[in-house]
Amino acid sequence: MIPIPLGSLIIFFMAVGVTVVCGLWFLSFWRDRKREVYRRRIAIQCRICGTAYACEPKHKLVVTICPVCRTPNERNKLQQI
């Protein structure tokens, strides 16, 4: 059996814990960023009433109709807040 000092054992487990927490944080951050990019790609904001609605990019529609005020809107990128 290999003798391991208690201090080294504690530091080892703390390092493993910090690594796991940082890894989970980075994974969560990456997933949220990916989801936000997708939402911005499918979202269209009405130029009249300001309503944001979704339109799948596979439809390839250049002009869509706002579901609230029935105004035709062109597909543009949503602006950062």
Contacting positions for Zn ion (CB under 5 A): 46, 48-49, 51, 66, 68-69, 71
Nearer to Zn ion, 28 or 71 (CB): 71
Please enumerate in sequence order all residues whose Cβ is within 8 A of that of 40, keeping only pairs 6 or more positions apart, or say none.
77, 78
- Shortest CB 73 distance to Zn ion, Å: 7
Please enumerate in sequence order all residues whose Cβ is within 8 A of that of 62, keeping only pairs 6 or more positions apart, or say none.
74, 75
Tokens 């980075």: give the residue.
26
- Shortest CB 67 distance to Zn ion, Å: 8
Nearer to Zn ion, 18 or 68 (CB): 68
